[in-house]
Amino acid sequence: MDKEAYKPYEEKMKKSINSLKENLAGLRAGRANPALLNKIHVDYYGVPTPINQLGNISVPEARVIVIQPWEAKMLKEIEKAIQKSDLGINPNNDGKVIRLIFPALTEERRKELTKIVKKYGEEAKVAVRSIRREAIEKFRAMKKNSEITEDDLKVAEKDMQNITDKNIEEIDKIVADKEKEILEV
């Protein structure tokens, strides 16, 4: 069986893994991470615009994010958008920059976050497995239509299982790394 037949399914699995990475980047671990702001949009002259397109974002200390807008009048809008978000942080506005100070996570919050990380990981695994099922169904249909032989079908099923196992292993590693980061005090 031609290895090109696996490409679309491998790409779909990679997209599932990238989606997992994006979801995990939005989770607040012990450190301040500018990726937390990626989902927050500010009303910029009637257009919802990501914060990172309105100013400089820096992390001067482990638990502080500083946002310095290019236009001073955007301070209030950015502050409002952060308050409306699910970030749970109250922004400090000094007239020039906005500071987001992240408190240390409690033990209870860390455990909640690890549960969320595991849930995201499980969702990614389910997505990868459903892609495998979709691929195998397609190969079986090809066999039924006599486009491939029984041996080709067996090889294709085995190859798809190997690809799936490799991707699930990667998901497990990503989840374990994020859990370690969250539990780190």
| pTM for the predicted model, two decimal places | 0.72
CATH of region 3-25+106-183, choose from 1.20.20.10, 1.10.132.20, 3.40.630.40, 3.40.50.980: 1.10.132.20
pLDDT in tens, the chain (185 residues): 677 888 999 999 999 999 998 888 777 666 677 877 877 888 888 888 888 888 888 888 878 889 898 888 888 888 888 888 777 778 888 888 889 888 777 888 788 888 889 999 999 999 999 999 999 999 999 889 988 888 998 999 999 999 999 999 999 999 999 888 887 76
CATH architecture of the domain with residue range 34-101: 2-Layer Sandwich (3.30)
Rounded distance, CA 16 to CA 156, Å?
21
Q: Which residues contact 132 (CB under 8 A, 6 or more apart)?
A: 9, 160, 161, 163, 164
Domain ranges of the chain: 3-25+106-183, 34-101
